[in-house]
C-alpha cells in the first residue's frame, strides 16, 4: 500500500551518507533559515537530518494534506473527532482565534466558567485554607500538575498538592503533612465515573470531614451531587474538550489556585497567541507545521522508534510525563479515519527527563548506543534565580549536548569514538513565564494534531485506554473470591495473592 509519505524514502536514502556536520558546512545560512520565532518562543531545526530538498518534499506533503485548512477546521469547531462525532475546541477555552458561531459560543461558556473560578478563589482566600488537594488522573492531573510544579512560587496564597494513582500510598503521603482544618479539595473527572479518582476522592472527603471544602470539575452534575458536592462548588467541563487538552478549562482550577487567576489567564493568553500563529502563519513560517513535519520525517523517513524530550530547566521536569499522554494517547493509532489499516508507522515511544540529571543516566545510550534517538531539547534563556554560575553551566550543557550529539568526535580508540549524526530540535523560551509555557504546550498540541492529519488518523479518541479498565472492573469480584477468573494465568496469579474463588 502506498501512502503520501512514501516519497520521503528517496530523500532519506540520498542523505544517508551525509552527516549533520556536512549538511551545516554545505549550507552557511542553515542555522538562520532553519529557525523560527513566535514571541518568546524560538525553535531551531538546523540539527535535523534533512536538507532543503527534503524540506521542500515535506512542505509539498503538507500542502497536499491541506494543513492550513486542517487548522481552520480544528479551530472553527468542525467534527475533527469523527469516531465520537465531536469537535475538539480546546482553543476556544483560551481565545477567540476562530470566528464561527460554534467557536464563539464555546468561548462564551469558557469565559463564564473562568468568572466562576475567580469568584471561588476570591471566596476561598477569605478563609483559613492554606492547602489544596487536587484529585484526578490522566488529563485531569498531568496538565495541572505540570503547570503548578513549573510556575508556583514560594509564599503563594495556596499550596497545591496532587493525588492521582489509585495506590493508597499516594493519598497517604500527600495527606500526611496537611491539616484537614486548613485544607480544601478538588475532585476532577470528566464523567465522574473514573475508578481511581472516585476512590481517592472518597479518601479525601472522609479525611476532610467537611463537604463544604470539597469542589468538583465535571460534565456530570448529578454524579457530583450524589457524591456530596453541591452545584455551587462544581465547575463545568464539556464534551468538546478532550481530557488531555483540558488544562485550559476549569480542570485548570488547581493552576488558578496556585498561580492566581491572573497567572492562569496569562497561561491562556500564551496558548491563544500560538493558536493564532498556527492558524495564520504560512506553512514555511509556522512553528507547529515545522515541528509536525519533523516528527513525521523522523518516524517515516528515519524510522526512529523513540523520541526523547529533554527540558534543561528543573521546573519542567514533568514535561516528559505530560507529553507522553498528549502525544502517545493522541497518535497511538493503527487504523485510518475510515477504519482501514495504515500503510505507515505512527507515533514513536516518547520518553525523557530533565537535564543535567539525565546526562548522568541515559545519555550514554544517546551518544554511543546502536539506536538513533531524535530529541527535543528545551531551554530557558533568562533565569529566575540569583545563581548566575549555575544557570551558565546549565546553558553550557544544553548547547554542548545538542552540538556533541550532532557532530560527534572521532577517535582511533573505538570505545571513545562518538559517531554523532544524532538529530535534535532546540526550543528556547526567553523566560519561564505563564505566557511562554502556554505557548510551548499549545505548540505541542498543534504539532500532534497536524501529525494526525498527515497520517490520516484521529488524534482525539483514546479507545485503547478502555480495555484495561474494563478487564480490571471484571476482575474485582475475582480478587474478592466471589468469582473465578477465566484467564488461566490470572487464576495462577490470584492464587499467589492468596485468593481462592468461592465455590457454590
Q: Which three cell numbers stand for residue 437?
A: 509555557
Query: Helix/strand/coil (H, E, C) string of 258-303?
Result: HHCHHHHHHHHHHHHHHHHHHHHCCHHHCHHHHHHHHHHHHHHHCC
Q: Among the options 360, 410, 415, 503, which is catalytic? A: 360
DSSP tally for the chain: helices H, then strands E: 20, 11
Contact 432, 146 (CB under 8 A): no
**Residues contacting residue 25 through CB under 8 Å, at least 6 positions apart:** none
DSSP letter at 281 equals S
Q: Which three cell numbers stand for residue 287?
A: 512553528
Q: Among the options 280, 303, 469, 502, which is catalytic? A: 469
Q: Where are the beta strands (DSSP E) in 14-93?
A: 35-38, 41-44
Q: Which three cell numbers stand for residue 485?
A: 477468573
Cα–Cα distance measured from residue 425 to residue 34, given in angstroms and rounded to the nearest whole number: 10
Pairing relation of β-strands 214-218 and 306-312? unpaired
Helices 434-455, 52-64: inter-axial angle, 10-degree rounding: 80
Q: Is 454 left (phi over 0), alpha (psi -120 to 50) or beta?
A: alpha
Contact 439, 273 (CB under 8 A): yes
Reduced to 3 states, what is the DSSP secondary structure of residue 162? strand
Q: Among the options 329, 333, 445, 446, which is catalytic? A: 329
**Nearest Cα to 20, choosing from 6, 34, 10?**
34
- Examine the residue annotation and report whether 360 is marked as an active-site residue of this protein: yes
Cα–Cα distance measured from residue 183 to residue 110, given in angstroms and rounded to the nearest whole number: 27
**Residues contacting residue 484 through CB under 8 Å, at least 6 positions apart:** 478, 491, 501
Pairing relation of β-strands 41-44 and 35-38? antiparallel
Pairing relation of β-strands 214-218 and 234-236? parallel
DSSP letter at 105 equals H
> How many angstroms from the chain centroid is the CA of residue 141?
11
DSSP letter at 34 equals T
Q: Which residues are catalytic?
A: 329, 360, 469
Amino acid at each position: 500500500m502506498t501512502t503520501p509519505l512514501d516519497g520521503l524514502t528517496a530523500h532519506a536514502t540520498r542523505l544517508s551518507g551525509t552527516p549533520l556536520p556536512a549538511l551545516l558546512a554545505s549550507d552557511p545560512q542553515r542555522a538562520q533559515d532553519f529557525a523560527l520565532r513566535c514571541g518568546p518562543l524560538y525553535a531551531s531545526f538546523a540539527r535535523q537530518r534533512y536538507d532543503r530538498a527534503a524540506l521542500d518534499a515535506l512542505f509539498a506533503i503538507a500542502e497536499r494534506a491541506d494543513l492550513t485548512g486542517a487548522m481552520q477546521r480544528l479551530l472553527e469547531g468542525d467534527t475533527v473527532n469523527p469516531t465520537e462525532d465531536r469537535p475538539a475546541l480546546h482553543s476556544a477555552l483560551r481565545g477567540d482565534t476562530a470566528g464561527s458561531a460554534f467557536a464563539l459560543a464555546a468561548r462564551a461558556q469558557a469565559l463564564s466558567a473562568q468568572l466562576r473560578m475567580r469568584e471561588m478563589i476570591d471566596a476561598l482566600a477569605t478563609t483559613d485554607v492554606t492547602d489544596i488537594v487536587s484529585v484526578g488522573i490522566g488529563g485531569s492531573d498531568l496538565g495541572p500538575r505540570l503547570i503548578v510544579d513549573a510556575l508556583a512560587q514560594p509564599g503563594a496564597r495556596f499550596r497545591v498538592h496532587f493525588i492521582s494513582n489509585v495506590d493508597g500510598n499516594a493519598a497517604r503521603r500527600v495527606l500526611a503533612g496537611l491539616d484537614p482544618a486548613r485544607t480544601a479539595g478538588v475532585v476532577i473527572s470528566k464523567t465522574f465515573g473514573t475508578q481511581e479518582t472516585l476512590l481517592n476522592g472518597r479518601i479525601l472527603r472522609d479525611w476532610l470531614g467537611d463537604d463544604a471544602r470539597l469542589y468538583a470539575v465535571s460534565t456530570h452534575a448529578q454524579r457530583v451531587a450524589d457524591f456530596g458536592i453541591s452545584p455551587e462548588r462544581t465547575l463545568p467541563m464539556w464534551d468538546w474538550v478532550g481530557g488531555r487538552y483540558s488544562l485550559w478549562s476549569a480542570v485548570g482550577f488547581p493552576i488558578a489556585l496556585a498561580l492566581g487567576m491572573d497567572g492562569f489567564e496569562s497561561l491562556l493568553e500564551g496558548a491563544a497567541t500560538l493558536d493564532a500563529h498556527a492558524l495564520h502563519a504560512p506553512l514555511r513560517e509556522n512553528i507547529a507545521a515545522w515541528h509536525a513535519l519533523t516528527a513525521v520525517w523522523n518516524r517515516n523517513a528515519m524510522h526512529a522508534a523513540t523520541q526523547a524530550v529533554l527540558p534543561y530547566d528543573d521546573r519542567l521536569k514533568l514535561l516528559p510525563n505530560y507529553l507522553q499522554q498528549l502525544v502517545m494517547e493522541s497518535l497511538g493509532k493503527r487504523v485510518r479515519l475510515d477504519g482501514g489499516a495504515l500503510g505507515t508507522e505512527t507515533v514513536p515511544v516518547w520518553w525523557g527527563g530533565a537535564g543535567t540529571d539525565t546526562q548522568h543516566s541515559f545519555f550514554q545510550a544517546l551518544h554511543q548506543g546502536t539506536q538513533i534517538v531524535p530529541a527535543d531539547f528545551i531551554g530557558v534563556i533568562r533565569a529566575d534565580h540569583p545563581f548566575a554560575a549555575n544557570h551558565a553551566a546549565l546553558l553550557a550543557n544544553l548547547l554542548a549536548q545538542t552540538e556533541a550529539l550532532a557532530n560527534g568526535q572521532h577517535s582511533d580508540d573505538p570505545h571513545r569514538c562518538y559517531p554523532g549524526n544524532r538529530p535534535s530540535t532546540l526550543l528556547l523560551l526567553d523566560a519561564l513565564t505563564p505566557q511562554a509555557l502556554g505557548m510551548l504546550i499549545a505548540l505541542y498540541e498543534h504539532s500532534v494534531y497536524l501529525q494526525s492529519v498527515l497520517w490520516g488518523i484521529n488524534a482525539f479518541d483514546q479507545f485503547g485506554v478502555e480495555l484495561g479498565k474494563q478487564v480490571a472492573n471484571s476482575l474485582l469480584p475475582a480478587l474478592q473470591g466471589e468469582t473465578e477468573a477465566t484467564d488461566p494465568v490470572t487464576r495462577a496469579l490470584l492464587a499467589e495473592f492468596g485468593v481462592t474463588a468461592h465455590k457454590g
